[in-house]
Amino acid sequence: MYEGPVQDLIDELGRLPGVGPKSAQRIAFHLLAADPADVRRLVTALTEVKDKVRFCTICGNVAEEEQCRVCRDPRRDLAVICVVEEPKDVVAIERTREFRGRYHVLGGAISPIEGVGPDDLRIRELMTRLADGTVTELILATDPNLEGEATATYIARLVKEMDLKVTRLASGLPVGGDLEYADEVTLGRAFEGRRAYS
Residues numbered 3-22 forming contacts with other proteins, rule: CB under 8 A: 17-18, 20
Residue 67 binds other proteins, judged by CB under 8 A: no
How far apart are CB 191 and other proteins at their closest, in Å?
Answer: 15
Whole-angstrom distance, CA of residue 90 vs CA of residue 179: 10
Local structure of residue 173 (DSSP, 8 states): B
Count, residues near Zn ion per rule CB under 5 A: 6
SS3 content of the chain, % helix, strand, coil (to 5): 45, 15, 35
Asked whether the beta carbons of 158 and 197 are under 8 A apart, the reply is no
Q: Taking CB under 8 A as the rule, does residue 79 contact other proteins?
A: no
Taking the complex as a whole, how short is the minimal distance between the CB of residue 172 and other proteins, in angstroms?
10
- How far apart are the C-alpha atoms of 69 and 75, rounded to whole Å? 11
DSSP letter string over 104-143? EE-SS--BGGGTB-GGGTTHHHHHHHHTTS---EEEE---
Q: From the list Zn ion, other proteins, none, which binds 5 (C-beta under 5 to 8 Å, kind-based)?
A: none
Residue 103 Cβ, how far from Zn ion at the closest point, in Å? 6
Q: What SS3 class is residue 53?
A: coil
Return the range that interacts with other proteins (CB under 8 A); candidates 35-43, 88-96, 99-107, 114-122. Answer: 114-122
Q: How many residues bind other proteins (CB under 8 A)?
A: 27
Contacts with other proteins, 145-184, as mask; x by CB under 8 A? xxx-xx--xx--x----------------xxxxx--xxx-
Q: Residue 160 to residues 64, 138, 144, 181: CA-CA distances in angstroms?
A: 34, 11, 21, 30
Q: Let me know if 162 is exposed, middle or buried by CB neighbors in 10 A (0-12, 13-18, 19+).
A: middle
Under rule CB under 5 A, residue 59 binds Zn ion: yes
Q: Is 136 in the site for other proteins (CB under 8 A)?
A: no
- Does 193 bind other proteins (CB under 8 A)? Our answer is no
Task: Report the alpha-carbon distance of residue 195 to residue 198 in Å, rounded.
Answer: 9
Q: How far is the CB of 173 from other proteins (least distance, A)?
A: 8
Give residues in contact with other proteins (CB under 8 A).
17-18, 20, 110-115, 117, 145-147, 149-150, 153-154, 157, 174-178, 181-183, 186
Give residues in contact with Zn ion (CB under 5 A).
56, 58-59, 61, 68, 71
